[in-house]
Amino acid sequence: DSGVTQTPKHLITATGQRVTLRCSPRSGDLSVYWYQQSLDQGLQFLIQYYNGEERAKGNILERFSAQQFPDLHSELNLSSLELGDSALYFCASSTGTVRPSTDTQYFGPGTRLTVL
């Protein structure tokens, strides 16, 4: 158990809908990362937050957004969902040093999103 929790575990929804995925980092971790794992694209970095502020953006679509709240939990919002958004979405957290890229990231169990 990495100490990172994600809810829900599974989500099934229809095209055009909007969903919110939630992540609670390990106790004391300030950085949160979101990744998408799909069959075609593999594991892709989406976005990183550090202590409430956006730190880096990866291959995140404009239909997707995220935020990190004062209690450090994070939410990933996916809107206008398409079939191709079906994937496993991972959240990871790290301690968040001056150079977050040096931190080891610990992953949550993931949320499996199915868009029908």
Partner 1 sequence: AQKVTQAQTEISVVEKEDVTLDCVYETRDTTYYLFWYKQPPSGELVFLIRRNSFDEQNEISGRYSWNFQKSTSSFNFTITASQVVDSAVYFCALSEANTNAGKSTFGDGTTLTVKP
> Which chain residues interact with partner 1 by CB under 8 A?
2, 31, 33, 42-45, 48, 55-56, 58, 88, 90, 92, 94, 98-110, 112
Give the nearest distance from C-beta 115 to partner 1 in angstroms: 18
Spatial separation of the C-alpha atoms in residues 75 and 73, rounded to whole Å:
7
Q: Which residue do the tokens 């040093």 mark?
A: 97
Q: Using alpha carbons, list the distances in angstroms from residue 25 to 37, 47, 81, 83, 94.
A: 19, 15, 26, 28, 8
Contact 38, 114 (CB under 8 A): no
Question: Residue 14 or residue 104: which is nearer to partner 1 going by CB?
Answer: 104
Distance of CA 78 to the CA centre of its chain: 10
Give the nearest distance from C-beta 7 to partner 1 in angstroms: 14
Give the nearest distance from C-beta 65 to partner 1 in angstroms: 18
Contact 15, 78 (CB under 8 A): no
Question: Residue 27 or residue 104: which is nearer to partner 1 going by CB?
Answer: 104
Question: Residue 83 or residue 98: which is nearer to partner 1 going by CB?
Answer: 98
Question: Residue 44 or residue 79: which is nearer to partner 1 going by CB?
Answer: 44
Give the nearest distance from C-beta 70 to partner 1 in angstroms: 20
